[in-house]
């Protein structure tokens, strides 16, 4: 008998399937097979506490579940082949284990296919509902009801419509009875109706419209709106998604119909492209692309090491430590090309695609339609489409942010993690995985080569290299013998003594900026807080105005005058954690004094001051208020590359991998503020930020200079950054970590106990605290409970524990034991956040 037939027979006898569901419970759930046996790795729909959920089949078997409960049948099988390859299921199991996360929640993050399953609500009448209908018909509208007679009539219309007992869709009810969702939900609460959520599969493929500037078109007379569109398109290299373009136009007040006019006049054409795939314009600006340079000796050596590992085969992790401007990108591209030539695929991970559009442009130029992009700005449809292209093997170069590590790449040969130190690789919700570490694990499961690249490697990766777990590749010089910029520290305590004034910008920085602009060069200034002032304080009682939902100072945003291309709301206080906004009070909410004052300069204030000091400068600002998406970023970078902006102020966004050759001066304002935060990674973060932002200077023909304004000129993070001395910094920082048993010495987890009710948060954390102190945990030290540094966030009170383990195994076991105890005590799992390898203890 053939193997296949056997498989069919064996399958037909399987009566049960274990399904991983996206719920915060550390287990799979057993369902009865309903006719066809699903394959492991397929998606199914199953009933789960009144809803239909999509889950992934983990096992099919014949072991009747123990215990006294009804095993429900699977409702629908969505795939007849495994939607996730074995390799990814194995990776999911590892993540669930390592990060102490529910498997179903891990799998949900791996499957970007929600677009294919549309949720629908179905309503059905209940017995109670029928009774109400008949009684109501006899008595008429009730005066005791809180609802108006019209609303009551609408309710009867709904009951009437559903009387036959058949289910009806929300949309059908809405058009038949003009009931809205709120009314129907009210009826569900009264138990007149039941609601069921169902999922329907649909086709994810979709075309997207892209506006393309028609080249060589003769320009007739244009009105201002038409010119605005053409300028917008030209600024981003001639192509833009119609969707993005419309959004930008909307903000600038240009009517959408103008685009139609331009199409009619054959100045713009609209193309349909199969997916989010129309870059290519950005990134060149007359410079050579990374892949067009002949590699220099250092780059060749780095490539040689990676290529040799690929040729040899097998798992081979590398740390590529290359200073800013050493030409790492060209090495990545060359290595990816080698992988393709060997018939394998390559995955390139980047922190945030929107922030480095140049990278995407260069990739498309180098690899054409072999590239697939995965990032957070894709719509669900686009993401699903990219996912399928990768799965079918049509796209062998995959570029994406954190979750791209789950791309169903075939024949994976190489993974590159660019800026491996970047905090955005850590997911700050369940499953709280670190994309870089998962990348290493994925390479291991697949016998692939992985390269972690950075000018400021994380201490974890550096330590792995020191221990010989990762091979280290170094690129210690910039390309073309360009020097690293000279860094000068400006002691702001002296500045205050000498000038008697608290100023945002020191005299040195003003002087150098002026000279830079006068020479026709460009300057960028980092002011790492957005908004105008980040503290509003009362002079009489000392109270700071805090967010209503969070224990966080509110930031003052000034209204924007003039017709800024990006319309901004008016004067307000805003919480940067939960987004809560309020007007600016006239008096202190606590003591009613009128003497409120505004402290701490953000980027908005920085820009205003620079405008006063340098009225002639062409100033641009880059922060979350002015750059919301990729197209904003592209436009801003295009203006920088073209020299249209010669003075840029912004938050850490300006420090991210940009390669703008005209920038010769970098100023840093207030970045050492973060040294005072209660976080063991504070020094590392400040060092990284200073080094990365300094690295933006002097990347072209002319050498660069950096001025760092600081109140901590003697702090080692500041001093080593000024000396471009990464090894020196690491040596010192490692000492501190060793003393304090912080990573990379031992392993760490942060456990947050949270609740909207203060007494629950305190009660539960006390309960867990008692359990920790009465339980002998091997090789794990527990700190806490303590109020979390941010003690209230989005209306939720937060207490926390920090667990430091001598080994991974000891830490995992302690966490699991704690969760079992919490479960037995009735502490709901959602109220406990377990963050393994936490980046923040805030």
Residue 704 interacts with ligand ATP (CB under 6 A)? no
Q: How far is the CB of 750 from ligand ATP (least distance, A)?
A: 29
Q: How far is the CB of 754 from Zn ion (least distance, A)?
A: 15
CA distance linking residue 699 with residue 483, whole number of Å: 9
Spell out where 653-779 has E strands: 663-669, 705-710, 747-755
Residue 695 interacts with ligand ATP (CB under 6 A)? yes
Residues linked to residue 750 through DSSP beta bridges, in sequence order: 802, 835
Task: Kindly state the number of chain residues that form the binding site for ligand ATP, as judged by CB under 6 A.
Answer: 22
Residue 290 interacts with ligand ATP (CB under 6 A)? yes
Q: Which does 76 bind (CB under 5 to 8 A by kind): ligand ATP, Zn ion, none?
A: none
Q: How far is CA 619 from the centre of its chain?
A: 28
Q: Which does 330 bind (CB under 5 to 8 A by kind): ligand ATP, Zn ion, none?
A: ligand ATP
Q: Which does 578 bind (CB under 5 to 8 A by kind): Zn ion, ligand ATP, none?
A: Zn ion
3-state secondary structure of 290: helix
Q: How far is the CB of 672 from ligand ATP (least distance, A)?
A: 21
Q: How buried is 188 (Cβ within 10 angstroms: 0-12 exposed, 13-18 middle, 19+ buried)?
A: middle
Residue 810 interacts with Zn ion (CB under 5 A)? no
264 in a known ligand binding site = no
Q: How buried is 346 (Cβ within 10 angstroms: 0-12 exposed, 13-18 middle, 19+ buried)?
A: buried
768 in a known ligand binding site = no
Q: Angle at which helices 808-824 and 86-98 pack, to 10 degrees?
A: 80
x/- mask, ligand ATP, residues 308-327, rule CB under 6 A, reads --------------x-xxxx
CB atoms within 10 A of CB 146: 8
**Tokens read off for 514:** 């002026």
Residue 575 interacts with Zn ion (CB under 5 A)? yes
107 in a known ligand binding site = no
Nearer to Zn ion, 463 or 755 (CB): 755
Pair 444, 111: CB distance under 8 Å: no
Q: How far is the CB of 790 from Zn ion (least distance, A)?
A: 10
Q: Which does 636 bind (CB under 5 to 8 A by kind): Zn ion, ligand ATP, none?
A: none
Q: Which of 479, 515, 551, 565 contacts ligand ATP by CB under 6 A?
A: 479
| Stretch of residues binding ligand ATP (CB under 6 A), selected from 46-54, 258-266, 286-294, 534-542 | 286-294
Closest among 210, 189, 40, 182 to 128, alpha carbons compared: 189
CA distance linking residue 703 with residue 485, whole number of Å: 6
Pair 803, 835: CB distance under 8 Å: no
Q: Which does 326 bind (CB under 5 to 8 A by kind): ligand ATP, Zn ion, none?
A: ligand ATP
Assign 3-state DSSP to the chain and report helix, strand, coil percentages, each to 5: 40, 25, 40
End-to-end CA distance of the chain: give it in Å, rounded: 62
DSSP summary character for residue 768: H
Residue 600 interacts with ligand ATP (CB under 6 A)? no
Residue 58 interacts with Zn ion (CB under 5 A)? no
Nearer to Zn ion, 578 or 842 (CB): 578
226 in a known ligand binding site = no
Widest CA span in the chain? 93
Q: Where are the alpha helices (DSSP H) in 313-428?
A: 328-341, 357-367, 380-391
538 in a known ligand binding site = yes
CA distance linking residue 201 with residue 76, whole number of Å: 10
- Phi, psi for residue 408 in degrees, rounded to 5: -80, 55
Q: Angle at which helices 181-189 and 170-177 pack, to 10 degrees?
A: 110
Q: How far is the CB of 451 from Zn ion (least distance, A)?
A: 39
834 in a known ligand binding site = no
Nearer to ligand ATP, 324 or 750 (CB): 324
| Stretch of residues binding ligand ATP (CB under 6 A), selected from 7-15, 283-291, 521-529, 638-646 | 283-291
Nearer to ligand ATP, 325 or 784 (CB): 325
- Where is 43: in which H helix or E strand? strand 43-48
Residue 657 interacts with ligand ATP (CB under 6 A)? yes
Residue 480 interacts with ligand ATP (CB under 6 A)? yes
CA distance linking residue 762 with residue 564, whole number of Å: 48
668 in a known ligand binding site = no
348 in a known ligand binding site = no
**Tokens read off for 481:** 């013998």
x/- mask, ligand ATP, residues 609-648, rule CB under 6 A, reads ----------------------------------------
Q: Which of 23, 42, 45, 455 contacts ligand ATP by CB under 6 A?
A: 455
Q: How far is the CB of 141 from Zn ion (least distance, A)?
A: 44
CA distance linking residue 693 with residue 677, whole number of Å: 20
Nearer to ligand ATP, 684 or 835 (CB): 684
Residue 329 interacts with ligand ATP (CB under 6 A)? yes
Lookup result for tokens 């791996």: 110
Point out which residues bind Zn ion (CB under 5 A).
Answer: 547, 549-550, 575, 577-578, 580
**Which amino acids are annotated as binding site, given as ranges?**
538, 541, 547, 550, 575, 578, 588, 591
**Which amino acids are annotated as binding site for Zn(2+), given as ranges?**
538, 541, 547, 550, 575, 578, 588, 591
Point out which residues bind ligand ATP (CB under 6 A).
Answer: 287-288, 290, 293, 295-296, 299, 322, 324-330, 455, 479-480, 657, 659, 695, 699
């Amino acid at each position: 008998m053939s193997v296949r037939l056997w498989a069919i027979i064996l399958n037909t006898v399987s009566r049960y399937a274990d399904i991983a569901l996206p719920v915060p419970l550390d287990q799979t759930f057993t369902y009865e097979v309903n006719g066809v046996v699903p394959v492991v790795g397929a998606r199914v729909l199953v009933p789960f506490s009144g809803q239909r959920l999509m889950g992934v089949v983990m096992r099919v078997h014949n072991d009747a579940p123990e215990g006294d409960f009804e095993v429900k049948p699977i409702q629908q099988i969505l795939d007849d082949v495994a939607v996730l390859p074995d390799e990814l299921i194995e990776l999911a199991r590892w993540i669930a284990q390592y990060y102490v996360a529910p498997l179903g929640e891990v799998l949900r993050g791996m499957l970007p296919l929600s677009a294919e399953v549309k949720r629908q609500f179905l309503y059905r009448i209940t017995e109670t509902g029928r009774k109400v209908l008949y009684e109501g018909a006899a008595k008429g509208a009730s005066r005791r009801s809180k609802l108006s007679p019209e609303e009551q009539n609408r309710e009867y219309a709904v009951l009437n419509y559903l009387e036959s007992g058949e289910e009806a869709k929300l949309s059908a009810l809405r058009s038949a009875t003009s009931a809205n969702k709120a009314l129907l939900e009210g009826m569900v609460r009264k138990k007149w109706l039941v609601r069921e959520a169902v999922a329907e599969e649909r086709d994810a493929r979709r075309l997207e419209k892209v506006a393309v500037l028609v080249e060589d078109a003769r320009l007739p007379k244009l009105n201002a709106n038409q010119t605005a569109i053409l300028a917008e398109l030209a600024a981003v290299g001639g192509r833009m998604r119609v969707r993005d373009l419309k959004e930008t136009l909307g903000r600038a007040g240009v009517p959408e119909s103008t685009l139609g006019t331009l199409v009619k006049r054959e100045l713009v054409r609209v193309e349909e492209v199969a997916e989010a795939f129309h870059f290519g314009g950005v990134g060149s600006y007359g410079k050579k692309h990374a892949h067009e340079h002949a590699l220099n000796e250092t780059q060749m050596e780095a490539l040689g090491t990676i290529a040799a590992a690929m040729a040899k085969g097998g798992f081979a992790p590398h740390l590529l430590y290359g200073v800013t401007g050493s030409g790492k990108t060209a090495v990545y591209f060359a290595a990816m090309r080698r992988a393709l030539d060997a018939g394998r695929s390559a995955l390139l991970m980047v922190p945030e695609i929107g922030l480095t559009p140049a990278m995407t442009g260069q990739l498309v130029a180098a690899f054409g339609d072999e590239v697939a992009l995965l990032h957070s700005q894709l719509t669900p449809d686009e993401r699903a489409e990219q996912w399928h292209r990768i799965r079918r093997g049509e796209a062998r170069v995959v570029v994406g942010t954190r979750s791209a590590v789950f791309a169903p790449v075939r024949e994976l040969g190489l993974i590159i993690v660019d800026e491996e130190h970047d905090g955005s690789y850590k997911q700050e919700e369940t499953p709280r995985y670190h994309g870089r570490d998962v990348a290493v694990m994925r390479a291991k499961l697949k016998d692939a080569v992985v390269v972690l690249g950075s000018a400021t490697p994380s201490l974890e990766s550096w330590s792995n290299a020191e221990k010989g777990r990762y091979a280290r590749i170094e690129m210690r010089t910039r390309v073309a013998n360009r020097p690293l910029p000279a860094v000068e520290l400006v002691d702001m305590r002296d500045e205050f003594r000498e000038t008697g004034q608290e100023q945002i910008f020191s005299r040195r920085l003003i002087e150098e900026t002026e000279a830079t602009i006068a020479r026709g060069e460009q300057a960028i200034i980092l002011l790492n807080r957005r908004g105008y002032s980040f503290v509003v304080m009362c002079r009489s009682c000392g109270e700071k105005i805090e967010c209503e939902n969070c224990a966080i100072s509110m930031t003052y945003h000034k209204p924007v005058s003039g017709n800024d291309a990006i319309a901004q709301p008016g004067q307000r206080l805003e919480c940067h954690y939960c987004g809560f906004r309020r007007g600016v009070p006239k008096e202190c909410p606590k003591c009613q004094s009128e003497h409120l004052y505004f402290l701490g300069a953000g980027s908005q204030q920085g820009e205003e001051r620079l405008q006063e000091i340098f009225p002639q400068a062409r100033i641009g600002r880059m922060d979350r208020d002015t750059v919301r998406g990729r197209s904003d970023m592209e436009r801003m970078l295009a203006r920088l590359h073209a020299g249209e902006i010669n003075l840029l102020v912004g938050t850490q966004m300006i420090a991210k991998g940009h390669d703008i050759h005209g920038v010769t001066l970098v100023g840093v304002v207030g970045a050492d503020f973060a040294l005072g935060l209660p976080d063991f990674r504070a020094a590392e973060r400040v060092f990284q930020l200073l080094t990365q932002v300094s690295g933006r200077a002097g990347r072209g023909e002319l050498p660069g200079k950096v001025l760092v304004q600081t109140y901590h000129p003697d702090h080692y993070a500041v001093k080593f950054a000024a000396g471009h001395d990464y090894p020196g910094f690491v040596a010192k920082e490692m000492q501190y970590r060793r003393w304090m048993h912080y990573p990379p010495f031992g392993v760490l987890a942060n456990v947050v106990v949270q609740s909207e009710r203060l007494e629950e948060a305190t009660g539960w954390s006390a309960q867990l605290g008692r359990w920790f102190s009465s339980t002998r945990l091997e090789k794990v030290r527990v700190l806490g409970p303590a109020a979390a540094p941010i003690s209230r966030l989005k209306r939720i009170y937060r207490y926390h524990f920090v667990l430091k383990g001598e080994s991974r195994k000891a830490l995992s076991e302690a966490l699991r034991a704690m969760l079992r105890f919490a479960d037995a005590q009735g502490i709901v799992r959602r109220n406990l956040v377990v963050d393994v390898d936490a980046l923040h203890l805030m």
